[in-house]
Structure 1
Amino acid sequence: MTLLIVLLLAIMMSSMISAREQRHYQKMVHADDGEEDNEQPDNYSSSSSFDNNYVITWGNSHVSYLYQGQVIQLSLDIASGAGFGSKLHYGSGLFHMRIKLPPKDSAGVVTAFYLTSSGDNHDELDFEFLGNREGKPVTLQTNVFANGVGNREQRILLWFDPTADFHTYKILWNQHQIVFFVDETPIRVFKNKNNIGVAYPSQPMQVVASLWNGDSWATDGGNTKINWAHAPFIAWFRGFNISGCPVYDSNTMPCFISNKFWWNRERHWALNPNEEEAYQAVKSKYMTYDYCSDRDKHLIPPPECPQ
């Protein structure tokens, strides 16, 4: 009888621990309202394997699972590329992916990480890496769509070789601002200017990554095409935990206004002084194109641009 009681107690304790671990894991994967010291974990790739939060959306035969799903490899050849997306849609958060880009000659190849809603009047926040001939730099293009309106491209050259190792690319999205980060450096800020009539992304968005043929426009304006003799082109992705507020209908307002999500708190309403300094340095040293300065496109700068 004593042995039976001990066994029953052990089973009960194991179940309690398992349930507690599961709750802790769910908080890490989605919204964490814990201490600020724990807001942004140093190792973005350790918390979640691919299948917990993502599914393959196209090009299944061009996807490889590495290290028990801790790394996903997408490949592009003349037959197909590939892509994956999050199982859920989100209404705010800090979304990230660690990416290693295709090496050597990748002209015409586009590696993308972005948030997007559905429909014609969609919202979208883009990282697009535009490949180049071997020895020439990859261009990072960002774009912001709100209510179906885009054409807000900015392009920079990176200060490192993004094909040599993994780097973290992040999008902070709350009701005050959208910030694109490369590692810890902000490279783009899109402020909420609804008060002057500028649409601001507010629809539930899915997290998406893909590798595809963009040689109609991506390199030298489409004049440099993919050299298929160098296929397959391969990109690697890791870091599949998601710090976001899940949305199960069309209403993102609770995700915007709730202070329990750390990314909605006041310290994330604007860049801090160190971030602002780094951001200005990127704009002055590495930016190669800004739609705000393109007078062929806009005789008068759009209202969200510096006047």
Structure 2
Amino acid sequence: MVKMSLIFSLFVGLLMVGLVSSAKFDDLYQTSWAFNHVQYDGDTLKLNLDNYSGAGFASKSKYLFGKVSIQIKLVGGDSAGTVTAFYMSSDGPNHNEFDFEFLGNTTGEPYLVQTNVYVNGVGNREQRLDLWFDPTKEFHTYSLLWNQRQVVFLVDETPIRVHTNLEHKGIPFPKDQAMGVYSSIWNADDWATQGGRVKTDWSHAPFVASYKGFEIDACECPASVAGADNAKKCSSSAEKRFWWDEPTLSELNVHQSHQLMWVRANHLIYDYCTDTSRFPAIPTECVHHRH
């Protein structure tokens, strides 16, 4: 019994390493464009969008596997036409990418969150949902958990989407390209709100997205290291164990599975897997994905 207790304590310790530590923006990120549309307010960073420019920031390093979280308070009031994005992406035409895109709306209408997954340069895996809270009133935490078994999109630790590794079914999975972490705000009124029917009202500018709680607990990959070497470096072996490779993180637990079912039943608005006009033949991964 003592031995089991010790193993459990070590296991919990592995899982918790780094998760509770929050870093300042400057430790992890740098502004990537429109420096004059970025402002600091204590521990809060703000990105501004007006009819001259949006703004964005990027992580200083790239990562392979782990968890990335940011707290965001989205643009309040009439945000129609605007998009605030939080995403991870590798470089090049055959890149991998995990997207949160927050689609603004007219006052009183709910924000929509669009997620997407690109593998080897191929996306077209959009899902859209509304949220069970007003994301403009308070900060909420948006996270990406990524390991060799799954990619999990989380909102306040509630899973809203899972992309499972189905390589055994011949379906590619993003597991060998290190990704940077990015966020930006820009004008996308050609498609963002009601399919582009509602345009941005610039009389309400500047549109401001606020950020804090910058956390990255992931395997950092030097730019000079080849993809295969990074994959080896960031995978557990007999000599080292990474928390993201623990068996409990290879799939959702029962509680998380119930949470995801609740989200899909009550808040999912669009799923590419059921869009027969775009995909007359159901995409292969949709046949096998449980979620």
Q: With structure 2 as the length reference, what TM-score do the two structures score? A: 0.89
2:139 counterpart of 1:166: yes
| Number of corresponding residues | 270
Are 2:74 and 2:208, in contact at CA under 8 Å, matched by a contact in 1? yes
Amino acid in the other structure paired with 1:53: L
1:131 equivalent among 86, 90, 104:
104
2:276 equivalent among 295, 300, 305:
295
After TM superposition, the structure 1 stretch with the greater mean CA deviation from structure 2, 259-268 or 207-216, is 259-268
Q: Map 1:31-180 to 2 at 5 A.
A: 35-36=13-14, 38-39=16-17, 41=19, 47-67=22-42, 70-180=43-153
**How big is the shift at 1:241?**
2.8
1:195 equivalent among 150, 168, 182:
168
Q: Deviations over 1:19-56 (max 9, x none)?
A: xxxxxxxxxxxxxx9814634746xxx63111111010
**How big is the shift at 1:197?**
2.1
Q: Percent identity?
A: 47
**Gap regions ≥5 residues in structure 1:** 1-32
Q: Deviations over 1:244-297 (max 9, x none)?
A: 101112323125522622112111000000000000110111000000000011
Tell me the residue number matched to 2:256: 275
2:209 counterpart of 1:228: no
Q: With structure 1 as the length reference, what TM-score do the two structures score? A: 0.85
Amino acid in the other structure paired with 2:265: S
Determine helix, strand or coil for the equivalent of 1:242.
Answer: strand
Are 1:174 and 1:256, in contact at CA under 8 Å, matched by a contact in 2? no
**Gap regions ≥5 residues in structure 2:** 1-10
Tell me the residue number matched to 2:232: 254
Q: Deviations over 1:180-204 (max 9, x none)?
A: 0000110000001112222211311
Aligned counterparts of 1:275 and 1:256: Cα–Cα separation in 2: 25
Are 1:175 and 1:256, in contact at CA under 8 Å, matched by a contact in 2? no
**How big is the shift at 1:306?**
3.1
Aligned counterparts of 1:128 and 1:193: Cα–Cα separation in 2: 25
Tell me the residue number matched to 1:238: 212
Query: If you compute each CA radius of gyration, which structure gives the higher value, 1 or 2?
Result: 1
Amino acid in the other structure paired with 2:82: V
Q: Deviations over 1:204-224 (max 9, x none)?
A: 100001111111111011111
Aligned counterparts of 1:200 and 1:222: Cα–Cα separation in 2: 32
**How big is the shift at 1:165?**
0.4
